[in-house]
């Protein structure tokens, strides 16, 4: 699912959700909010050094992008009883 960051230092950037942390209300978005961490020398990386990776962003700071535009998500029940996500802007179903 593609999302757009709507506040903070990375406002306007888009990316794919890599991981969701429901208890922390955070998501990790591909290519957004990089942090640098020092890593100790290991057998795979004998020199150690710094590693850059994506950090979490609060869920309230991202919006789902559907059809190239940010949209809110709603839910609808189909005739067979299944629940599907829909775009509030267009009314279309959102595929994951």
Asked if residue 91 is part of any domain, the answer here is no
Asked if residue 37 is part of any domain, the answer here is yes
State the pLDDT confidence band at 11, using cuts at 50, 70 and 90.
very high
In which domain, by residue range, is 39 found? 2-63
Q: Residue 42's domain is classified under what CATH number?
A: 2.30.30.30
State the pLDDT confidence band at 95, using cuts at 50, 70 and 90.
confident
pLDDT in tens, 44-66: 889 989 999 999 999 999 999 99
Is the model's pLDDT at 67 over the cut of 90?
A: no
Asked if residue 57 is part of any domain, the answer here is yes
Calculate mean pLDDT across residues 29-37: 93
Asked if residue 51 is part of any domain, the answer here is yes
pLDDT of residue 1: 86
Q: How far apart are CA 77 and CA 79, in angstroms?
A: 7
φ/ψ (deg, to 5) at 16: -90, 140
Please provide the distance, in angstroms rounded to a whole number, between the alpha carbons at the two ends of the chain. 6
pLDDT of residue 57: 95
Count of domains forming the chain: 1
Asked if residue 55 is part of any domain, the answer here is yes
Q: How far apart are CA 30 and CA 37, in angstroms?
A: 17
Query: Structure tokens of 64?
Result: 């789902």
Q: How far apart are CA 7 and CA 10, in angstroms?
A: 7
């Amino acid at each position: 699912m593609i999302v757009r960051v709507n506040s903070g230092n990375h406002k306007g950037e888009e990316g794919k959700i890599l991981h969701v942390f429901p208890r922390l209300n955070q998501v990790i978005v591909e290519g957004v909010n990089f942090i640098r961490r020092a890593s100790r020398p290991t057998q795979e990386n004998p020199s150690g050094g710094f590693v850059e990776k994506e950090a979490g962003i609060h869920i309230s700071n991202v919006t789902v992008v559907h059809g190239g535009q940010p949209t809110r998500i709603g839910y609808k029940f189909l005739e067979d009883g299944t629940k599907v996500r829909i775009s509030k802007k267009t009314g279309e179903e959102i595929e994951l």
